[in-house]
Structure 1
Amino acid sequence: MTFRLKIDPVVQAVYDSLPDDVASTLTLALAEVCDDPFARTDPYGVDDGVTRLLILDRVIAMLLVTNTPAMQAVRILQITYDG
């Protein structure tokens, strides 16, 4: 099952400002997340099955996972870059 990836324009601007190597690493990791968001991410705080963290070496993405019969989607809520 592949989840649909969503991002709003403000977060897209942050993504676009990342160095090329960091953006490439994040892109590949997000592709894996779309295949199985629960295996590739960690819970954010209490595991509510909805808010997840994708933790990489230099960047963290906070994600909102929607997993209903009507929609399977991963929305990027925030990107934090440690550069």
Structure 2
Amino acid sequence: MTFQLKIDSVVQAVYDSLPDDASLALTLALAEVCEDPVGHTDPYGIDDGVTRLLILDRVLVMLLVTDTPAMQIVRVLQIAYDG
């Protein structure tokens, strides 16, 4: 089942400010994450399956994964860009 992607307006502004190549890479990677969050990310600290990192060449994204029978959500908490 595909997870729903959530991003607040502040983090969305960072996403929107990325260069085109980094934005495209992040968009494609997030699509994969929504299909399999644990398989396409790395644990952040202790592997609790909830707080995850998406690591790309120049972009690091902190995610919060909610996987319950009632909801399946990937929430983008922070985006860091090293350009």
Question: TM-score range with shorter-chain normalisation?
Answer: over 0.9
Say which SS state the counterpart of residue 46 (structure 2) adopts: coil
- 1:23 maps to which residue? 23
Paired with 2:48 and 2:29, the residues of 1 have a C-alpha distance of 22
CA RMSD of aligned residues (A): 0.3
Query: Normalization by structure 2: what TM-score?
Result: 0.99
Unpaired runs of 5+ residues, structure 2, are: none
- 2:11 maps to which residue? 11
Paired with 2:66 and 2:21, the residues of 1 have a C-alpha distance of 28
Say which SS state the counterpart of residue 38 (structure 2) adopts: helix
| Identical-residue share of aligned pairs (%) | 80
Unpaired runs of 5+ residues, structure 1, are: none
- Between the two proteins, the alignment pairs up a number of residues equal to 83
Displaced runs of 4 or more, over 4 A: none
**Structure with a larger share of its residues in helix:** 1
Paired with 2:48 and 2:14, the residues of 1 have a C-alpha distance of 26
Query: Normalization by structure 1: what TM-score?
Result: 0.99
Deviation at 1:61? 0.5
